[in-house]
Structure 1
Amino acid sequence: FGLDDVDGDPGHWRSLAFFPLMPYLMRGVSFVAFLPAEWAGALISLVAGLVFAFAAAALAGRMAVRDGHSRDGADRDGAARDGVRRSMIIAAVVVTTAPMAVVKLMPYTEALFLALAGWGLVAIVDRRWGRAGLLILLAGLTRSTAMGLFIVLAIAVIAGDRRNPRAWLAVAVAPIGWAVYLLWSSAQLSDAGGYFGAQARGWNSEVDGGVATVRWLWESLGTSRETGYAISAVLIVLVAATLAWAFTEWALARVAAWRGARVIAGGNRSSAFVDRWGRCWPVLLFSCLAVGQVLVSDGLMHSRPRLFLSGVLVLLVFAPVLARMRAFDRAWVLAAWVLGS
C-alpha cells in the first residue's frame, strides 16, 4: 500500500501479487547488514542458490542409491561411490546453470523458492514429514507454485506412510501460510476481484487451459521476427518435451514393474523402460506440476523460461548419464550447456 498508481490501477493491485517471505527477508537482511534493499535481495538469492545446489546434489545421490546400495549393487566399491559423487556434483552444476538461472543472482524469488522446495523434496524422499511440512510451509509463503508441493506431499504420504499421524499433520500444516496469504490478500483486493482477479487485471495471468500458450507459440515460431520471443518459444517446447518424455518413461517403467514384465529391445539391452527416479519420483511429479501450472496459464510469455525454473529439478535425470561419460566428453557437454544457457 502507499504505492503510486500503475497504468491507472492502484499500486497494491500489482504489489500484492507477490508472496511475503522474500520481501520480509529483504527488509530484515537490509536492516541487520545495513545494505540497500536490492543488495540484500541479491545476497539472499546468492545464498539460497548455493543451498539449492546442495539440495540438487542430495537428490541426485538418492536417485543413484536405493536402500543403502548403489544401483549396480556395489556400494562398497570405490568406483561406484565415485560415480555417485560425480553424479551429485554434475546435478548441482546442471540445475544452477540452466537457462535463466542468472535470476538466482538477482532479487527474485526463484532461488529462495527452489532452496526451500529442493530440501522439502529431500525430506519427502527421506520421509522426514515434520521437516517436509515446515519447509513446504515456508515455500508456500514464497511463490504460488508451491501448490505442487502440497499435492506431492499428500500423495507421498498416501503412497508410503498413510498410517502415520505425524505425516498427515505435515500435510495439514504445509499449505497454511499459502492459504492464509491468499485469503488475506484477496480481502485487500476485493475491489479488483480478489487475488486472482488482480492477477488477471494487473499481470494478465489467469488459467485458460493453455490456449494462450499455444497461440503465442504459433505466432512466435511462425510469423514473429523477434529473436528473443523465438528463443523463449523454443525453450517452452523443449521444457514441455523433456517433462513429457521423463514422465512417460517413468510411468511405463512403473507399469512394467507392476506387471512383473521385462520389455526386451534388442539383444544387449535389458529393458526398454528403466525407472531412473526410484524413490525420488516426488521430484519428477513436482517438476511436472510446477511447469504445468505455468503452461495452462496466460501471462508474460517471454518470461516463461524464468518461471520454468520451478521445474528445473527434472534435469537430475541426465546427471547419471553425464557421470558415465569420459571426462573429455563430459567437459565439453557441460561447457556447451553453460554457454548455451
Structure 2
Amino acid sequence: MNDLASVGVPGRILREGPAVRAALRRAAPALAAYAAIRLLGLAVLALWSAADGKNWHTLLTARWDSLWYTRVAEQGYGYAVQLPNGDVHSNLAFFPLLPWLERGLSALSPLSPADAGMAVAWLASLGAAWALYATGERLHGPRAGIALAALWAALPVGIVQSMAYSESLFTALAAWGLYCVLTGRWVCAGVLASLAGLTRPVGAAVVAAVWITAVVTLRQERAGGVRLRTALRKHRGMPTGVLLAPLGWCGYFVWVGVRQGSATGYLDVQGGWGNGFDGGVAFGAFVADLLSGPGFAAGLGLVVGVGLLVWLYVRGVRRGQPLPLAVYGGTVLLLALTAKGYFGSKPRLMMPAYPLLLPLAAGLAHWRPAPRRLVIGLVAVGSAVYGAFWLNGSGPP
C-alpha cells in the first residue's frame, strides 16, 4: 500500500519520506482541482465585496465565530456577553484546538491571530482535500478521489472552508482519522479522533466511528471462530486507538463542567446560545412555519434538500460504504438535523459530512472527462457566486 496512511504512525511518516511524496504526487490533481475551485470562490468574493463596499479579508477573518476564536486565542477563556433577553453567550462554547493553533502560529510568525486562523483553515482544507482524495481513490479509484475533493470544494457554503472557522481543520482531522480506520492504523485513528474532538462538538461522530468499527470488527472475528486475544493481536493498536479517541472531546467537556461547577456545564453554555438537541422538533417547526406562510417556496426547497441528503446517505450505505464512513456521515447528518438554534447555520454544520458526496463522486468517475469537468466547473461557478452572495449578506454565524 503506497498511500499516506500506509506509512504508519507519525514517526514512521518522517522516516519514509519517499512514500509520502509518492502519495502526494498521486493526490496532486485533486489538490490542484480543489485549490482552483477555492481560488475561484475567493476571486468572486473579492469582486463582489468590492462592489458592495466591503472588504473580503474582513469577511473571512473578522466576523461571526472567527471573532470569538480570535478572542480565545488572545485572551483565553472567560469572556461572555449577556443579551437583553437574559441569554449569555460564553466563549466556552468554542472548542480550543483552532485558537491554540492561532495563538501558536501568531507567536511564531508576523501573522495576527485572525490571519493565523485563516492560514490554518487554508492549509487544513488542503489536508482535508488530500484525505478525501485518498478515500475516494481507495474505494472507487483515482477519478472518484479527484471528484470527491472537487465536489467538497464546490459545496454551496464551500466559502467557509476559506474562513477563520474550524470546519476545515475538523474535516481534515476527521477524514484522515477515518482513513486510518479503513487502513487499520488504529493508534493514528485514535490520536486524530481525539484532536477532532478538541476542534468541534461533532467530534463525537469520529469517536463513534472508531468505537463502532472496532466493536463490529472484533465481533466478526469472533463469529469466524477467532479468539479475542488472537483478534486483538491481528488488529494491533486497536485497544490503544479506542482509548485515545474520546480523550479530546471528553476532556474539554469535563473541563468546562468543572469550570462551570456542573456536570452539564457545556450543555448549559450551549443552551445560553440557544443551541442544543431536541430530536429535530425545533427544525420541524421552522420548516412547517415556512410551508404554511409566504416562505412556502423556501420551505419546499428545504424539504427537498433534506430529502436529497437522506437519499445520498441511504444510497451510500446500500452501495456498501465502509462502516466507519457510514457511521460518521450518518452521525454528522443526524446531529445537524436534530439540533436547535440558528437554522441558517445547518448547511455549515453538515459540511464535514463528506461521505454523503461519495455516491456522486463514484458516479462522476464513470463519465467521460469533458462532461465530468463541465459539471464540476458549473457547480464550482455556482458555489463561488452563492458564497459571495451569502457572505456579503446574512452569512454564517
TM-score by length of 1: 0.79
Residue 5 of structure 1 aligns to a residue whose secondary structure is strand
Partner of 1:207: 277
Shift of 1:172: 1.5
Percentage of matched positions with identical amino acids: 31
Q: Pick which of 46-55 and 214-223 moved more.
A: 214-223
After TM superposition, the structure 1 = structure 2 runs for residues 120-159 of structure 1, keeping only pairs within 5 Å, are: 120-159=177-216
Shift of 1:248: 3.3
Residue 108 of structure 1 aligns to a residue whose secondary structure is coil
- Cα distance in 2, alignment partners of residues 131 and 225 from structure 1: 47
Deviations 1:89-128 (A, max 9, x none): 1111111221211111111000000000000010011011
After TM superposition, the structure 1 = structure 2 runs for residues 206-285 of structure 1, keeping only pairs within 5 Å, are: 206-225=276-295, 230=298, 234=301, 237-238=304-305, 240-249=306-315, 253=318, 275-277=319-321, 280-285=322-327
Unaligned runs of 5+ in 1: 65-83, 254-274
- Cα distance in 1, alignment partners of residues 201 and 78 from structure 2: 24
- Cα distance in 2, alignment partners of residues 19 and 296 from structure 1: 20
Quick check: 1:321 aligned with 2:378?
no
Deviations 1:155-196 (A, max 9, x none): 111222463262122111110121111111122234896110
After TM superposition, the structure 1 = structure 2 runs for residues 1-341 of structure 1, keeping only pairs within 5 Å, are: 1=77, 3=79, 5-7=81-83, 13-64=89-140, 84-161=141-218, 163-164=231-232, 166-190=237-261, 194-201=265-272, 203-225=273-295, 230=298, 234=301, 237-238=304-305, 240-249=306-315, 253=318, 275-277=319-321, 280-341=322-383
Residue 202 of structure 2 aligns to a residue whose secondary structure is helix
- Cα distance in 1, alignment partners of residues 353 and 210 from structure 2: 16
Residue 289 of structure 2 aligns to a residue whose secondary structure is helix
- Cα distance in 2, alignment partners of residues 98 and 285 from structure 1: 21
Distance 1:11 1:301, change over 3 A: closer
- Cα distance in 2, alignment partners of residues 2 and 250 from structure 1: 43
- Cα distance in 2, alignment partners of residues 90 and 207 from structure 1: 33
Amino acid at match of 1:184: W
Q: Pick which of 102-111 and 151-160 moved more.
A: 151-160
- Cα distance in 1, alignment partners of residues 287 and 275 from structure 2: 17
Unaligned runs of 5+ in 2: 1-76, 220-230, 384-397
C-alpha contact (below 8 Å) 1:152/1:285 kept by paired residues: yes
C-alpha contact (below 8 Å) 2:313/2:356 kept by paired residues: no
Amino acid at match of 1:291: L
C-alpha contact (below 8 Å) 1:56/1:91 kept by paired residues: yes
Amino acid at match of 1:339: V
Q: Pick which of 87-96 and 215-224 moved more.
A: 215-224
- Cα distance in 1, alignment partners of residues 329 and 181 from structure 2: 14
Give the superposed CA RMSD. Answer: 2.6
Shift of 1:298: 0.6
- Cα distance in 1, alignment partners of residues 182 and 380 from structure 2: 29
- Cα distance in 2, alignment partners of residues 226 and 26 from structure 1: 42
Distance 1:99 1:295, change over 3 A: same
Q: Pick which of 323-332 and 284-293 moved more.
A: 323-332
- Cα distance in 2, alignment partners of residues 37 and 105 from structure 1: 15
TM-score by length of 2: 0.68
Shift of 1:329: 1.9
